[in-house]
Amino acid sequence: MKANILFVDDDPNVVNGLRRMLHSFKKEWNLFYALSGQEALEIISKESIDVIVTDLRMPGMSGAQLLYEIQKKNPEIIRITLSGYSEEEMSIQSSRYAHQSLCKPTSPEKIKSTIEKAFGFRKYLKNESLIKLVNKIEKLPSLPDIYLRLEKEMSSANISLSNIDNIISKDPVITAKVIQLSNSAFFGLPVRITDINRAVNYLGINIIKNLVLTINLFRLLDTNNPNTKFYTQIWNHSNKVAEIVRKICVLEGYPKAIKDDAFLAGLLHDIGKLILIDEFDDYFKNVLEIMESEQIPFHEAEKKLLHADHTELGAYLLGIWGLPDSIVEAVALHHNNDFAFDLANPSPALIIKTANEIANEGTIATDDITEDIIREVLKTKQMLNN
Ligand SMILES: [Fe+2]
Ligand SMILES: [Fe+2]
């Protein structure tokens, strides 16, 4: 079935330009055009639109307001912004409601590849109601103490980028947003960034400040939240896996590119669990009960409960947010037993899968996981594989 794509811009010249530019995609897509937010909503009420690409600065209803409406009422639609360089501030602000952002002028190929890719992440998540659930996410939770440390550092007279980078890399949710923004097509970087330090340096203090302090992109966990214990467990576990990943990479002498990808994927690998705890009452409790009674791993118990697991939700979310493919794939595969154990040709997926298993073995603290322990696990895995 052809996908339905809706473009919105108040400037008739831009709309006509898009019409001409995208004419050749008519075989693959049904294309719709609107000159205002109101007109876009009317089209959405009649047609089942899959992806919307909207301008931001429009009279009457702004692009951000339009996306907000769609997020609430039509969460099945993928939301992309297309705005000018001068609208950087607005584009960053709208990242609360948009999955991805493009910058004018852009090529038809870029529009096509962005839309196709965002749509293609449905391969990770098949369930329509879970797709809607993930599409509508506006804010994910952050741990108050990390956020407050970041806020304090941002407000200090001598802001240090390396302190900021250290604090951010403790929090999977803030990290995901910073990496999303630095890889956003809006900034048009020719290379993808998976190194958190580089992302922070690239965006600079003002954008990070805007992202963290002004836009209000993160939801601070309330200490009375009954799930705080589970959220904290996920934070600690994610940091532990990322740290073990770092140790494996040093031990095996992997190049920086693999190390950056694997560390980031390690920090983000369980982000799907945060979505599920947020959305379903007693989620953790119910999964743990199934795990216990059936003696099966966590992700298999999730499948019994939801017909999907946190790897699928996490990969789909990071995919539609435009994170690099290697990260999305590693998150998707971190409980998969089907790929070969080959440390000479490591994928981030393999490294985080191994790190995750080491982290889950017993109660050993991160600092006590020595090179010897890691070497032993790697040796056993290699032997089992041969
Ligand atoms: Fe996991
Ligand atoms: Fe994990």
Task: Output the CA 353–ligand 2 centroid distance in Å.
Answer: 8
Looking up tokens 């196709």 gives 116
Residue 369 lies in a domain: yes
213 and 232 housed in the same domain: no
Task: Output the CA 213–ligand 1 centroid distance in Å.
Answer: 30
Number of separate domains in the chain = 3
CATH of the domain at 44: 3.40.50.2300
248 and 118 housed in the same domain: no
Q: Which domain covers residue 326, as residue numbers?
A: 228-385
| Residue 350 C-alpha from the chain's centroid | 19
Task: Output the CA 360–ligand 1 centroid distance in Å.
Answer: 10
Residues in the chain: 386
379 and 235 housed in the same domain: yes
Other beta carbons within 10 Å of 214: 11
Yes or no: say if 75 and 133 are a contact pair by the CB < 8 Å rule.
yes
Yes or no: say if 20 and 64 are a contact pair by the CB < 8 Å rule.
no
Residue 128 lies in a domain: no
Q: What letters, b where the CB count within 10 A reaches 16 and e where it falls short, cover 346-364?
A: bbbbbbbbbbbebbeeeee
196 and 53 housed in the same domain: no
Query: Residues 214, 216, 218, 221: is their CA dihedral positive or negative?
Result: positive
Q: What residues pack around ion ligand 2 (CB closer than 5 A)? A: 270, 356
Q: Which of 220, 253, 281 is the last residue of a domain?
A: 220
Looking at residue 321, the DSSP 8-state letter turns out to be T
Task: Output the CA 194–ligand 1 centroid distance in Å.
Answer: 20
Other beta carbons within 10 Å of 229: 9
Q: Which of 220, 242, 272 is the last residue of a domain?
A: 220
Task: Output the CA 180–ligand 2 centroid distance in Å.
Answer: 21
Other beta carbons within 10 Å of 209: 18
244 and 107 housed in the same domain: no
Task: Output the CA 351–ligand 2 centroid distance in Å.
Answer: 12
295 and 266 housed in the same domain: yes
Task: Output the CA 70–ligand 2 centroid distance in Å.
Answer: 33
78 and 183 housed in the same domain: no
Residue 191 lies in a domain: yes
Residue 264 lies in a domain: yes
89 and 152 housed in the same domain: no
Residue 299 lies in a domain: yes
Task: Return the ligand number nearest the Cα of 309.
Answer: 1
57 and 153 housed in the same domain: no
Q: Give the pLDDT of the chain (386 residues) as one tens digit per residue.
A: 889 999 999 999 999 999 999 998 989 999 999 999 999 999 999 999 999 999 999 999 999 999 999 999 999 999 999 988 777 788 888 888 999 999 888 888 899 999 998 888 989 999 999 999 999 998 888 888 888 899 899 888 888 888 999 999 999 999 999 999 988 877 777 788 999 999 999 888 888 888 887 777 788 888 788 888 889 999 999 999 999 999 999 988 999 999 999 999 999 999 999 999 988 988 989 999 999 999 999 999 999 999 999 999 999 999 999 999 999 999 999 998 877 777 778 889 989 998 998 888 766 777 777 888 888 888 877 766 65
Q: Which two tokens stand for residue 234?
A: 């996920």
Task: Return the ligand number nearest the Cα of 266.
Answer: 2
Query: Residues 134, 75, 137, 226: is their CA dihedral positive or negative?
Result: negative
Task: Return the ligand number nearest the Cα of 356.
Answer: 2
Residue 87 lies in a domain: yes
* CB-based burial label for 157 (10 Å; 0-12, 13-18, 19+): exposed
Which H/E stretch holds residue 5?
strand 3-8
